Structure 1
Amino acid sequence: MRGFRWASRSAAAALGSGVLVGLHCSARKPVSNPGQGTQGTLHRGHGRWGWGHPSSVECEAAKKKLTVAELLALKGRRQIVLTTAFDEWTARAAEQAGVDMIVAWGSCQEHSKFVVEAVRRGAPNTLIGTGINPGAYESQEKALKLANEMRAAGTDIIYCSGLVPEKFQGLAKQHFPCCGHVGYLPVNDTWLGGPRAVGKTAEEAKKVYEDVMALEAAGCIAVEMECVPAQVAAEISKRTKMLVFSMGSGPDCDGQFIFSEDLMGTNSGHYPRHSITYANLMADAVQALSQYCQDVRRGAYPAAKHCIRMKESEFRRFIESLS
């Protein structure tokens, strides 16, 4: 995947595929809010209370978690939607949006477990794919041990970049659903001469095809295809029984995978050509925090409505108790 970096990154369609099995809508009732007067409304969701607007209506879909068998059955039926999440909030947003699969990982095995546990809390009804860290290369036994640990943390699919077919084969024999990675692999930057498209020559395109077939023979259920020419990706997708997830490899694969930081505008680095951005949450966050800083420094916050009051008689008694 774009930067499977060990050191760091629609409701209608879902209803049509049976992913969303119920829809609960309820109007939010205005209540008194000590911090906002009567401007806010209190609503319940995911075990927490939050504030909204009196005119808003809360519609929450009851999402059914896909099984691996159901995921595989989507090949040729509809596009599968993947994104990343590294925290509970992003995972919850992805699940409520109807994302089919979340990919998550950390900087090491222990960090990956921590990340996956947080993502699972946020998205209890969404498939999670995560990699096993480079220690898996040491031996088949180590790969199985690490995969078991990630499954215990909440992973559904072992999603690895750079793991050779032989290692995948051992995992597949133990009934781990596995997803490989072909095309541009960041771990192979030095061999490729830096980030670039892979498969623009007939020879490279044939190598991508051979890599896909090797992963299929090893027992993988899916493969991410990164930065491969769209027509090459389309032809290979037709020739494999695996699911092919496109990252910059065109519309004719079985699904699309974009990093959440690119989608939401929180990426502080390079936005790849294939990415698409629907929001600018970083700018919104900076604006909100800047306003907070200004309000605190000029005395606008906290205002009287943000403060707890006590009866004057009780306050006098308190003062008398000090003297």
Structure 2
Amino acid sequence: MAKNNVSTFVSAKHNNEKITMLTAYDYSMAKLMDESGINGILVGDSLGMVCLGYKDTLSVTMEDMLHHIKAVTRGAKDALVVGDMPFMSYQTSVYDAVKNAGRIIQEGLAGAVKLEGGVSVYEQVKAIVKAQIPVMGHIGLTPQSVNVFGGFKVQGKDESKAKNIIEDAKRLEEAGAFSIVLEGIPYKLAKIITETVSVPTIGIGAGKYCDGQILVYQDMLGLFSDFKPKFVKSYGNAGEVIRKAFKDYIAEVKEGIFPDEEYSFKMDDSIIDKCIKEGV
């Protein structure tokens, strides 16, 4: 399999080939995804919720992101690794945006960065791209704006907001973004955007007309039982498999079943006898 990069993403749209992406936050999972043939891996700031136990993504720091991005890039050889820019790493100034994007590329060894917003981050995206760093945009339901939205709610359902999201997409394309994540918007709006911009759109809760799709892997594998977003299809109940394995392990240890001789190391009995005789 050829190494995925920004050019292969753009070519996929023009060739009408769907792009596949998932999130990953560690070496072993990134390696499994990479070996499966995934096009891209996003090290999302969603790690704040699924790995660190935060209630949202706002508490995630650059150091958090870099720690996980480094782990993922060690495991992914063919997939394009995109590193998320966390809250307040790019909103404060164009300078901060370029500097922090540079850290994700230079220290994290990612192939691109992702940031949230459209018109509001036009100058940041333009400057990051000018610094030779590929940028993936993210519009619609942007989790870093959860306090403004009043929760994780579908965006763009009325005329004015739909027009704003379309304008966001156009401005991101103009600023030089190589692709745009569309999250939590009506599928007909996503279709319009996908047909309007020349760069690929990656949907999450945005319907089938996007150029590609991305999901949080814990969601699609059923690792969480308390909540599943409407747009997530379950591709396996790994959570139940893991819980059963943990319970079986606990039971066998308590009952003295594990470890038996099959899982233990052996030595010559004569050496044991000699040790006993010599009082060792």
Would the TM-score normalized by the shorter structure come out above 0.5?
yes
- 2:82 matched residue in structure 1: 129
CA distance in 1, matches of 2:264, 2:204: 50
- 1:54 matched residue in structure 2: none
CA distance in 1, matches of 2:261, 2:113: 53
2:267 is the alignment partner of 1:322: no
Say whether the 8 Å CA contact 2:98–2:124 is kept in structure 1: no
SS of match in other structure, 2:170? helix
Q: 1:96 aligns with which of 4, 29, 35?
A: 35
CA distance in 2, matches of 1:240, 1:286: 44
Q: In structure 1, what residue type is equivalent to 2:186?
A: P
Q: Which has the higher helix share?
A: 2
Q: In structure 1, what residue type is equivalent to 2:6?
A: V
CA distance in 1, matches of 2:84, 2:267: 55
Say whether the 8 Å CA contact 1:223–1:242 is kept in structure 2: yes
CA distance in 2, matches of 1:169, 1:262: 33
Q: How many residues align?
A: 261
Q: In structure 2, what residue type is equivalent to 1:220?
A: A
- 2:247 matched residue in structure 1: 290
SS of match in other structure, 1:245? strand
Q: In structure 2, what residue type is equivalent to 1:273?
A: K
Residues 254 and 263 from structure 1, CA distance in 2 versus in 1: closer, same or farther, beyond 3 angstroms? same
- Give 1:103 deviation, angstroms: 0.5
- Give 1:190 deviation, angstroms: 3.0
SS of match in other structure, 1:137? coil
2:28 is the alignment partner of 1:75: no
Q: 1:210 aligns with which of 147, 152, 167?
A: 167
2:92 is the alignment partner of 1:142: no
- Give 1:204 deviation, angstroms: 1.6
- 2:57 matched residue in structure 1: none
- Runs of 5+ unmatched residues, structure 2: 46-59
Q: Which has the higher strand share?
A: 1
- Runs of 5+ unmatched residues, structure 1: 1-19, 21-63
- Give 1:215 deviation, angstroms: 1.0
Structure showing greater Rg = 1
- Give 1:317 deviation, angstroms: 1.1
Residues 269 and 167 from structure 1, CA distance in 2 versus in 1: closer, same or farther, beyond 3 angstroms? farther
SS of match in other structure, 1:322? coil
Residues 221 and 118 from structure 1, CA distance in 2 versus in 1: closer, same or farther, beyond 3 angstroms? same
2:204 is the alignment partner of 1:247: yes
Deviates more, 1:163-172 or 1:287-296: 163-172
Deviations 1:183-212, CA, capped at 9 Å, x for gaps: 111222233232221122222211110111
SS of match in other structure, 1:130? strand
- Give 1:264 deviation, angstroms: 1.1
Q: In structure 1, what residue type is equivalent to 2:24?
A: A
Deviations 1:50-88, CA, capped at 9 Å, x for gaps: xxxxxxxxxxxxxx2112112111114211011100111
- Give 1:241 deviation, angstroms: 1.1
CA distance in 2, matches of 1:175, 1:65: 19
Say whether the 8 Å CA contact 1:105–1:115 is kept in structure 2: no
Q: In structure 2, what residue type is equivalent to 1:230?
A: Y
